[in-house]
Amino acid sequence: MNQQGGEKPRRRRYFMGILEMLGLKRLINAYGTVTLIGGSRPSEEVLKAMAEISKVFVSMEELYRKVGEIIAKETGAEAAIVTSGAAAGVTLSVAACMTGGDLKKAYQLPNTTGLKDEIVVQRKHKSIYIYVAQIPGAKLVYVGNEQRTLPSEIESAINDKTAAILYMYFDPQEGVVPLDKVIEIAHRKGVPVIVDAAAELPPVDNLRKFVKMGADLVVFSGGKDIGGPNDTGIVLGRKDLIDAIFKLGPHSLDVVDGQLTCFIGRPMKLSKEDIVGLLVAFLRYIKMDHEARLRKLHEMVDKVVNELSNIPCVKVSKYLPDSSHPVRPLIIPKAEFDLSNCVLNADELLELLKKKDPPVIAYSAHGKVYVNPQCLTDDELEIVIERFKEVFSEKCKNCPKKRK
């Protein structure tokens, strides 16, 4: 007799797809590498490596070190470490600059008594992600105003409590003191510069650029364009500071005052599957033909523009984002829907697309709707185009403007 009391075993669940089992819908991602809908779609190669490492145990310390060495070598950085996302990378980078690898200091966080605990940030760099820089107990010291920051303002904000300058990379940006100048000021004052470049890929050259400019720590998302698991990130930079991140213990414990303890890195730990998945995605990413890929993304946008060019009252065009656009990276073209003469506004259009099956997730900015080809396959692009056509043909049929 089996556990179901003599009936045939009910194994249906295991034969169903995960989506069916959970009652979830697959979404068509015309938005980009956003965490809200899953962020990335790791390749088969990545998934295969994750499955392979999942079957064995390894020394996490050695795994972290080896993977860090490979990434450092490929980016020209002194050292590198994988983190559980770019946001965790920023948190740990700030903590590393505050503690410098001193375990006693690491143990006292987020109590910052006696530690350097000020992080200088240009006011225009205040972003939705800035919050995470405060997790180690650091205080954000904003310099400048909404319009601009002056080099002298950065300079005079630096004092003996300054742990680092955090540069949120949203360049090109008017009124911001540029990274090279910030590095020059910081280093003259003996203060490290952390660059949050989470979504600045492509161009792939950025993996080397900021380190080469002299930034002390540079943070990238592993789960955005690199295509690793969405909960991965990379920090590149100075060996002593990467070692300090290491000591903050994403994977380990240590003894302080005769007591075995974990540290601030512990809730940001990674699995061996994540680390290996990120590595394979990274190696794939740096070998990719990025010119061909960008050409392809342009073709995809052109296709959207061509196929949807005859929607009445809506202007569809190819948009190359300027720095006021909220979705990075700027290098990837988007299809822009100008609705100023349409009865639908941006939110209504997005809502109608979302109600389709499968739902299409596009996004809006400054009242316009955008389609980002970054995460779309060719087949999905067709679906996006069809859904836009459907939405507008339904809407235009009953449009009050038509009757006038």
Ligand X SMILES: *Cc1c(COP(=O)(O)O)cnc(C)c1O
Q: How far is the CB of 358 from ligand X (least distance, A)?
A: 24
- Residue 129 or 142: which CB sits closer to ligand X? 129
CA distances from 370 to 167, 213, 296, 364 (A): 27, 33, 18, 6
Tokens coding 212:
């080469």
Please give the residues from 302 up to 361 whose contact with ligand X meets the rule CB under 6 A: 328
Q: How far is the CB of 286 from ligand X (least distance, A)?
A: 18
Of 364, 371, 366, whose CA–CA distance to 389 is shortest?
371
Q: How far is the CB of 278 from ligand X (least distance, A)?
A: 11
235 binds ligand X (CB under 6 A): no
142 binds ligand X (CB under 6 A): no
Please give the residues from 159 up to 188 whose contact with ligand X meets the rule CB under 6 A: 168
d(CA 365, CA 195): 25
233 binds ligand X (CB under 6 A): yes
- Residue 220 or 388: which CB sits closer to ligand X? 220
199 binds ligand X (CB under 6 A): yes
| Site map (CB under 6 A) of ligand X, residues 262-301, x = contact | ----------------------------------------
d(CA 327, CA 349): 19
Which region, judged by CB under 6 A, interacts with ligand X, from 79-87, 109-117, 146-154, 204-212? 79-87
Q: How far is the CB of 137 from ligand X (least distance, A)?
A: 19
* Out of 32, 42, 68, 85, the residue judged to bind ligand X by CB under 6 A: 85
Q: How far is the CB of 320 from ligand X (least distance, A)?
A: 19
Kindly state the helix (H) or strand (E) to which residue 319 belongs, with its residue range: strand 315-319
Tokens coding 266:
């512990």
* Out of 30, 63, 86, 241, the residue judged to bind ligand X by CB under 6 A: 86
User: Under DSSP, is residue 166 helix (H, G, I), strand (E, B) or coil?
Assistant: strand
- Residue 199 or 235: which CB sits closer to ligand X? 199
87 binds ligand X (CB under 6 A): yes
Please give the residues from 357 up to 376 whose contact with ligand X meets the rule CB under 6 A: none
Question: For residue 352, which phi and psi values (nearest 5 degrees)?
Answer: -65, -40
User: Under DSSP, is residue 259 helix (H, G, I), strand (E, B) or coil?
Assistant: strand
Tokens coding 187:
């280093």
d(CA 266, CA 93): 14
d(CA 384, CA 353): 9
221 binds ligand X (CB under 6 A): yes
Residues in the chain: 404
CA torsion 355-358-364-367 (nearest 10°) is: -40
CA distances from 94 to 56, 101, 122, 168, 186 (A): 33, 12, 16, 13, 15
Buried b vs exposed e over 83-102: b needs ≥16 C-beta within 10 Å? bbbbbbbbbbbbbbbbbbbe
- Residue 342 or 374: which CB sits closer to ligand X? 374
Which region, judged by CB under 6 A, interacts with ligand X, from 45-53, 193-201, 344-352, 362-370? 193-201
Long-range contacts of 172-175 (CB under 8 A, 24+ apart): 172/323, 173/124, 173/323, 174/148, 174/323, 175/124, 175/144, 175/147, 175/148, 175/149
CA distances from 355 to 350, 351, 397 (A): 9, 6, 18
Which region, judged by CB under 6 A, interacts with ligand X, from 48-56, 178-186, 191-199, 353-361? 191-199
202 binds ligand X (CB under 6 A): no
Q: How far is the CB of 327 from ligand X (least distance, A)?
A: 9
- Residue 85 or 144: which CB sits closer to ligand X? 85
- Residue 84 or 99: which CB sits closer to ligand X? 84
223 binds ligand X (CB under 6 A): yes
134 binds ligand X (CB under 6 A): no
- Please tell me the count of residues contacting ligand X according to CB under 6 A: 14
Which region, judged by CB under 6 A, interacts with ligand X, from 85-93, 150-158, 318-326, 393-401? 85-93
Residue whose CB is nearest to ligand X in the complex, by number:
85
Please give the residues from 8 up to 47 whose contact with ligand X meets the rule CB under 6 A: 35
Q: How far is the CB of 322 from ligand X (least distance, A)?
A: 17
Tokens coding 352:
């109608």
Which residues would be at the binding site for ligand X (CB under 6 A)?
35, 85-87, 127, 129, 168, 196, 198-199, 221, 223, 233, 328
